Amino acid sequence: MEDMIKQDIRKLSFEEIRQILTDMGEPAFRAKQIYEWLWQKSAHTFDAMTNLSKDLRIKLSAKFEILPIFTDKVQKSSDGTIKSRFILHDGHKIESVLIPVPDDDRYTVCVSTQVGCSLTCKFCATGQMKRVRNLDGAEIYDQYVLVNQQCMEIYGHPLTNVVYMGMGEPLLAYSSTLDSIAMLTEPFGLNISPKRITVSTAGIAKMIRKLADDDTKVNLALSLHAADDTKRNEIMPINEQNNLEILMESLAYFYEKTGNKISYEYIAFQNFNDSIEDAKNLVKLCKSFPVKVNIIEYNPIDGSSYLKADEDKINLFARHLRNHDIIVTVRRSRGKDIDAACGQLANKE
């Protein structure tokens, strides 16, 4: 007889697990125990679920499987940033980055949501890869768990923040992104404050509205990178269907509905978007709702003609924004010597 195809138990809701256990003649409270093992204790085998009877563990193993991700490669930067490549159950690979800032007691994990990406942003290494598939919510959750273990081992400190800024577009892996956020934030999961989570998007207006309607408590970051449509169309083809006017309306809706923090990510490219005229255009986009601007050093990638803006120009640009009462942070690149910085994730060997 052929082996029965096992079901991935981490794709089931609490109610579905409870119903299956009831049908097996097990008491309903077993579902709560299993759910805690999966999402609070991050168990990767049924044998680890020691408060279940051996008989039940054997039955669960026969019927279900757990498909964790595994660490494939780890690289440490000279600045303390750590990039991990993980291998998925089907052999595909993704990357996550641990960004430690010990002086601020801040330890951030940057997680991926897709294998590859479909958006073809001109400055991004991931954008040169094809999108193979979306990650499952559990595969995003596992990145947090494994990098948190790494953070504890190396820095003696748990992760403090999560940013959905790795490989892929989180709002095009929407259900998986929300599933993972639930497992990270809910009391039956890891119980992390959603205020410590930021979801970044290249700008999918209708999904930003959906994020607001679904009453998520997370912060939102827009990968803006240009403050006029002509320039943004050139570097981010997604802007042709989601222009700045449409995007600003969706962000205003998000803020009005949720009150959650919004930030703009703005990579400064030499002689492209780093002029005072560009800064004036950006000021206009900062007036509709409270927003913080993160100016980011560009990390050149193979196959791209864009260059990092000069430091003096970045400082003048930032000063112009501050003179208009806009909160600005200039972010220096972290982990660029191991291709772990913004826009560099590409599963290189």
The catalytic residues are: 95, 342
What is the DSSP pairing of strand 106-110 with strand 93-101?
antiparallel
Half-sphere exposure of 96 (CA within 13 A, CB side): 30
CA–CA separation, 228 and 137 (whole Å): 34
Rounded alpha-carbon distances, angstroms, from residue 326 to 190, 223, 246, 329: 34, 17, 22, 10
* Structure-derived torsion over alpha carbons of residues 287, 291, 295, 296, reported in degrees to the nearest 10: -140
Q: Is 215 left (phi over 0), alpha (psi -120 to 50) or beta?
A: left
Structure-block tokens of residue 295: 């100016």
Burial class (CB in 10 A: 0-12, 13-18, 19+), 5: exposed
Task: Please give the backbone phi and psi of residue 80, each rounded to the nearest 5 degrees, phi first.
Answer: 95, -10
What is the chain's Cα-based Rg?
A: 22
CA–CA separation, 216 and 298 (whole Å): 30
Burial class (CB in 10 A: 0-12, 13-18, 19+), 209: middle
